[in-house]
Chains A and B, each alone.
Chain A
Amino acid sequence: MGKVLMKGNEVIAEAAVQAGCKYFFGYPITPQSELVAYMARRLPEVGGLFLQAESEIAAINMVYGAAGTGVRVMTSSSSPGFSLKQEGISYLVGSELPAVVVNVVRGGPGLGNIQPAQSDYFQVTKGGGHGDYNIPVLAPASLQEIVELTSEAFDIADRYRTPVILMGDGMLGQMMEPVEFGERTESELPEKNWATTGTRGDGQPKIITSLELNAEALETRNEALQNKFARIKENEVRYETYKTDDADYIMVAFGTVARLTMNAINKARQQGLKVGLIRPISLWPFPEKPFLETRDRVKGYISVEMSAGQMVEDVRLAVNGHADVDFYGRTGGVVPTQEEIYQKILTVTGGISV
């Protein structure tokens, strides 16, 4: 299969279908509505089911029901709608049900606007709903990467019995790029013998619940969850580095902002400034390793985000005082320009020495 020109939202949908997701419960919200519409048209072709829910709350609970039967299932939304899904996501975590939830982030808080943003970073990486938990979050930077990460999101969900968040921004959802859907490599995944499909053939009733009234028993369950999160931290960190080997300063950016930052880095390099990039692909677990490897030899890091400064907190934790950490961000749906990022590099590094 050759390359096809598609919109980001549609790429997420098609990649999910190719990953074996046959069930989608959605609710319209800009800027992710193309994803919902694509699923409505596409899923019947593969013998699957698309259902438009009455709200984001209903959609995530339909996902909960479907996930409990052991099938691959997905829902998607954008920031205000994603907030509404938090209750259901917390239940998915507590009941250990696999599902993929997409957040095509837009400007906030409140109704905000429909322009691209990354200001849901705290929400997706620090739990988001009630209770002690983390969720794997994957943040693609290109449409081709969406193809790979959507497939991996489903594998991670099944491997650890957890919801996985695919986080893009409005720009990634709306842009068009040529993509190629290659052959998927099937991962070896655990059998879903916990699924509630009726007891015929397997005797004892199975129960899916996040309720545990006994404090000690709930603590034991929470410890098991924490152990699972530790395994995810061990095995599912993803990141990319760009020209960090000789860098004096390292930029940190994810998603589409990483691409803009890369252009600014190339311009700075042309001027002789040794600047590199760490691009977290998994936002949780946050990639600490590239910081541990560089923090004692670089002068500083600059986190560039479409937010008022959220990921920069994780950068500071990873750097842990070993180097300076600076920040540049735009909010409200304003996309930073390559030139602005370049100027920030000049300011922080002290500019070009003549």
Chain B
Amino acid sequence: MTMKTVFKKTNGLTDNPTHYCPGCTHGVIHRLVGEVLEEMDILEDTIGVASVGCSVLSYEYFNCDMTQAAHGRAPAVATGVKRVLPDRFVFTYQGDGDLASIGISEVIHAAARGEKITVIFVNNAIYGMTGGQMAPTTLIGQKTATTPFGRDESIQGSPIKVCEMLATLDGTAYIERVSTHDVPHIQKTKRAIRTAFETQKKGLGFSMIEILSTCPTNWGLDPNESLDWVKENMLPVYPLGVYKNKEGGN
């Protein structure tokens, strides 16, 4: 009797084991991106740009040509790649420290220029790789290594809402915020990533998917508690939804 294949790992990822912590959703998000690239049959025409932070080694995991950018500069590097190779697919994979702090200028201007790239923006409200420091996306009251008494708005200001901000720019074509805290939302996340790459395929402009993610290690929670924490604490500050859809008229 021959066994029927009911599930297999996406060809969009390499066979390298990832270094991500247990319960971190980077692995899930990698898989979703890999599946979309495979399903669209564009793996061979894609150049990914890795950033600095926990996902610095993402070039080891995506099964396509990859280049590794300096901290925050991935959208500028992606601009250089895409402007030379306009018929290829170019995406960046960035965390919230990389994109919303040191790289906020690069992402704003790439969006304003309407660069036909896709930004996968993973927001877990903290710096993971360096050991749990405050990110621009850290919630008010959230304790981190550099906000040991909780983020105080009067001292550290308030969280940056990247989707809302970039949606104001005419160069953006598709902006959506999604989450990975349960299976239905993970499925929605995959659809959003697909829409972003389709947007790039149509040459409509800049696309970004912000994905709410976990950091059990630096949040000091177990994986299940972390998923609940996203739902209970992040969703009210970072409402899910489509913030820009040029094709759809908003």
Contact = CB atoms under 8 A, between A and B. Distances in A.
Interface stretch (B64-72, B132-140, B210-218): B64-72
Contact of B84 (A53, A66, A201, A210): A66
A58 B76 contact: yes
Given A61-B73, A69-B84, A197-B47, A54 B64 contact: no
B49 interface: yes
A62 B80 contact: yes
Contacts of B68: 95, 207-211
Given A65-B80, A205-B63, A58 B85 contact: no
A64 interface: yes
A72 B82 CA distance: 15
Given A54-B109, A211-B56, A23 B83 contact: yes
B65 A65 contact: no
B72 to A, nearest CB: 9
A58 B73 contact: yes
Nearest to B83: A49
B60 to A, nearest CB: 8
A39 to B, nearest CB: 14
Given A54-B105, A197-B85, A199-B65, A65 B49 contact: yes
Contacts of A63: 80
B105 A68 contact: no
Interface residues of A, number: 38
A57 B43 CA distance: 30
Q: Which size class do B's interface residues fall under?
A: 35 or more
Nearest to B52: A211
A232 interface: no
B70 A54 contact: no
Interface in B74-90: 76-85, 88
A176 interface: no
Contacts of A71: 84
A87 B45 contact: no
Given A54-B105, A205-B64, A87 B81 contact: no
Nearest to B80: A65
Contact of A196 (B14, B65, B76, B105): B65
Nearest to B57: A211
B106 interface: yes
Contacts of A197: 47, 65, 85, 88
Contact of B106 (A51, A58, A67, A205): A58
Nearest to A25: B80
B88 to A, nearest CB: 5
Given A62-B76, A198-B44, A198-B45, A209 B59 contact: yes
Contacts of A198: 44-47, 64-65, 85, 88
A207 B50 CA distance: 10
Contacts of A66: 80-81, 83-84
Contacts of B60: 207
A68 B81 contact: yes
Contacts of A205: 14, 62-66
Contacts of B80: 23, 25, 61-69, 73
A91 interface: yes
A199 B44 contact: yes
Contacts of B62: 205
A206 B46 CA distance: 11
A54 B44 CA distance: 31
A54 B104 CA distance: 12
B109 A65 contact: no
Contacts of B88: 197-198
B97 to A, nearest CB: 16
A65 B83 CA distance: 9
Contacts of A18: none
A205 B68 CA distance: 13
Interface of B: 14, 43-47, 49-50, 56-57, 59-60, 62-70, 73, 76-85, 88, 105-106, 108-109
24 contacts: A23-B84, A25-B80, A57-B76, A57-B106, A58-B76, A58-B105, A61-B76, A61-B106, A64-B67, A66-B80, A68-B80, A69-B84, A87-B70, A88-B73, A95-B68, A197-B85, A198-B65, A198-B85, A199-B44, A200-B45, A205-B14, A207-B68, A209-B50, A211-B56
Shortest 6 CB-CB distances between A and B: which pairs?
A65-B80, A61-B76, A209-B68, A62-B80, A66-B80, A65-B77
Given A54-B106, A207-B68, 14 more contacts: A23-B84, A25-B80, A49-B84, A57-B73, A61-B73, A62-B77, A65-B77, A65-B82, A68-B47, A69-B80, A87-B70, A205-B64, A206-B66, A209-B50
